Structure 1
Amino acid sequence: MTPNDQTSVYSDTAYDSRKPRSMPPEPEHKDGFLMRRARGQRITLPAGAHCKEHASMGYMPSDVKGSIQIEQYEQENRGGHRMVTWPDLLEWPVLQRSLQYVIAWFTFAGGLFSAIFIGIFTGLSNGIYLFTYFFLPLFLIWVILRYINKGEPKLKKDTRFYRRTGMVSLYLGKDQPRQEIPFDEFDPYMSFRTGPTGSSSFVLQLAHRYSETLIGHPNQFDHVHGVYLAWEELQQFMDVSQPLPDTVYNERFRPFDPVTVEFDRETNRKPDHWRRFDNRTYLDYCVVASDAAKDYPWGKT
C-alpha cells in the first residue's frame, strides 16, 4: 500500500497523532456543580494506545463467522474499517436487542430449567404444565425477536466516530442535520455511577473542549481499567497512523483499511487470528487479557 493509496482513502481532516493540529487554547470552564458532576474526572493518560488488551472486551468468535457484504458497508459508510458507533440506549432498535437478551434469560435459565426442576421433584405433570404455558410462549417471543434483530441495527440517534474523516457525528434532534466535530477536540473524562442496589461502575465520557457538548460511552465498566481500555481503543481506531484495534469484530474489516493492511503484511498477521478460536479458548484468553489490563502500569509508560 503506497502513500498515494492511503491519501485517496483518508481525508485531510483524518486524525493523525503524528501531525497534531494547531488549535486554540482550551477556554477556562466555569461549570456549575451539575456539569462537573456529569463530566467526572479528567483522564490524564498519555495519548495513544499503550496497553492494547482490547481482547478482554467485545465480541465472541462465534459472533463474526462467515463473510461480510463489504459493498453494502461501503455504500452506507459504515463497518469496522470506517465507523464506530455509540448508540443511544433508549432508541428502539437498542431496546429491542436488550429485550431479546432479557427474554432469553427468562426462557432458558428460568422457563426451561424450572420446568425440568419442577418435573423431577414435584411431578411430571407440573413440569409439562410449566413447559407448555411458560417456556414455550417465552421461547416463541425470543425466536421472533431474534429474527427481527438479525443484522446490525439501523440507528439514528447514535454518536458516530468516522476513522477516514476524523470526525465525530452527533445527533441534534429530529429534522435537524447531524453536527460533525473533529475528534481531537474532545477530552476524555471518567464518571462514577452508583446503581439502585449500591453497585458501582465507571463510564467513559467525552467532553468537547470548546462547547458544553458531552457524550457518554454506552457501556458501564466495573473497573477503572475498562474505561482506560475503551478510551485507548477509540483513540487507536480514529488514528490513521495506527492499524485498526486488533479485536474480534474488526478482524473481518482489516483487509479494507490501507494502514491496517500494511501493518498486517509487515507483521505477518493471520487473517483469521481470532476467528479460528473456539469460544471457550477465547474466553480463557480474555481472562488473561483482563488480568493484564488490570495490572498494567496505567499512566506510567
Structure 2
Amino acid sequence: MSAAKLQQHDVTQYVERPMNPNDKTSVYSDTAYDSRKPRSMPPEPEHKDGFLMRTARGQRITLPAGAHCKEHASMGYMPSDVKGSIQIEQYEQENRGGHRMVTWPDLLEWPVLQRSLQYVIAWFTFAGGLFSAIFIGIFTGLSNGIYLFTYFFLPLFSIWVILRYLNRGEPKLKKDTRFYRRTGMVSLYLGKDQPRQEIPFDEFDPYMSFRTGPTGSSSFVLQLAHRYSETLIGHPNQFDHVHGVYLAWEELQQFMDVSQPLPDTVYNERFRPFDPVTVEFDRETNRKPDHWRRFDNRTYLDYCVVASDAAKDYPWGKTREQALAEGWKPSEQRWQEAQQRREQRQENDIA
C-alpha cells in the first residue's frame, strides 16, 4: 500500500454508538456507507500519473454499483473451520469480527508469514516426511524408514506443532488495512509510531491489475485507489480469473453497505445475528441460522464448484435483474436442479 502525499480533507468525526440490537440507528454511525444515500463529494481531480503509477493501479473497474452476482460461496472458509460458538463479547471489545470489520493483511507482517510457514511445514511434514518414511521403509528396508522418521519427520512435526500452537486464534495484526462496516471508514497503516489514517469507503475507486509470475503464470489483483490522493490498497489475494476480482469487489461493497445484509459466506454466518440489517433480512427471507455450517466439507466443495460456474457464467456489467431476465441461473437454482437430477437417477436405478 502506498500512502504517499495523502491529502488532508474534512471528514465528519465518526463515533460508533453503544449497540442496541433492536435499533439500527444505535449501531451504525452517521458516516456509515449507505448506497441509497450517496454523499455530496468534490469532483475527482485530474490525475497526472506517470507510467509506474498507471501500471500499479491497472484498469478501472466499471461494474454497476453494489453486489449483483453474489456468488460468494465460490471462495472462502470451509464449514469445519467455523464450527462451534463464538465469544462475541471479545469481538465487540476488540472492535472486530465478521459483523464489524474486514481486514486486508500485509503479507510481509510476521503473524501472516508465521501462518504461511505453518502450512508449508505441514506439507513437508505429512506429504514429504511421513510418506517418504513409510515408502522408504517398505521398499528399501525398515531401518532406512526409521531413520527418515526419526531425523526428518519428527523434527518437522515438532516445528509444525509449535507453529500451530503459536497460530491459534486470529492473528493480531498492526499493518493491515481495515474496513469498518458500522462507521463506513477504511483504516490505513501509515508507519511505525504514526496514527492510523481514516478515510471514508466511498472515496475509493476499484481497479484491477494484471500480474505475471516467475513461471509465466498470470493472475489478477483487486486494487482500491483513493480518489483524492495517491493512496493505493492491494487485495492480499491474487485471482486466476477476472470474475474472482469482480466477486471480491462485490463482497467488499456489500459488507460496507449498511442498506444490505452481510455477504452470505461461511465465515460471516456466525456473526449474522449481531448485525441489525442482516437480522431483519434473515427474518424476512426465513434464512436458516446454520445454512452453511450444516454442510459437510465435501458437499460444500461440490457446492463451491457450482457457485464458481455460476460466477463464471454471469454476464458481468449487468444487474442481477438483467442477468436473470437473460436466463442466467444462480448457484441456488443450479444446486437444486442438480439435486433433482440426482434423485431422479436414483429412482430410475431402483426401478
TM-score (normalizing by structure 1): 0.98
Q: Deviations over 1:207-241 (max 9, x none)?
A: 00000000000000111111000000000000000
CA distance in 2, matches of 1:3, 1:169: 25
| SS state at 2:22 partner | helix
Deviation of residue 122 (structure 1)? 1.5
CA distance in 1, matches of 2:130, 2:274: 43
Residues 184 and 118 of structure 1: CA distance in aligned 2, closer, same or farther (over 3 Å)? same
Q: Deviations over 1:12-57 (max 9, x none)?
A: 0000001111111111100000000000000001000000000010
Q: Deviations over 1:69-119 (max 9, x none)?
A: 100100111000000000000101001000000000101111111111111
Structure 1 unaligned segments of length 5 or more: list them. Answer: none
Residues 119 and 11 of structure 1: CA distance in aligned 2, closer, same or farther (over 3 Å)? same
Q: Deviations over 1:169-211 (max 9, x none)?
A: 0001111110000000000000001111111110000000000
| SS state at 2:80 partner | helix
| SS state at 2:315 partner | coil
TM-score (normalizing by structure 2): 0.84
Aligned residues: 301
Deviation of residue 132 (structure 1)? 1.1
CA distance in 1, matches of 2:301, 2:150: 35
Deviation of residue 300 (structure 1)? 2.5
Q: Deviations over 1:146-191 (max 9, x none)?
A: 0100000000000000000000000011111100000000000000
Q: Is residue 206–residue 249 contact of structure 2 (8 Å, CA) maintained in 1? A: yes
CA distance in 2, matches of 1:224, 1:40: 13
Deviation of residue 286 (structure 1)? 0.5
CA distance in 1, matches of 2:40, 2:300: 43
Deviation of residue 4 (structure 1)? 7.5
| SS state at 1:3 partner | coil
Structure 2 unaligned segments of length 5 or more: list them. Answer: 1-18, 320-351
Residue 94 (structure 2) pairs with residue 76 (structure 1): yes
The residue aligned with 1:31 is: 49
Q: Is residue 32–residue 185 contact of structure 2 (8 Å, CA) maintained in 1? A: yes
The residue aligned with 2:226 is: 208
Q: Is residue 220–residue 242 contact of structure 2 (8 Å, CA) maintained in 1? A: yes
CA distance in 2, matches of 1:112, 1:51: 43
CA distance in 1, matches of 2:318, 2:253: 18
Task: Specify the structure having the higher radius of gyration (Cα).
Answer: 2
Runs of 4+ with deviation above 6 angstroms? 1-4
Deviation of residue 3 (structure 1)? 11
| SS state at 1:108 partner | helix
Deviation of residue 11 (structure 1)? 0.3
Q: Is residue 186–residue 201 contact of structure 2 (8 Å, CA) maintained in 1? A: yes
Alignment RMSD (CA, Å)? 1.3
CA distance in 2, matches of 1:52, 1:33: 34
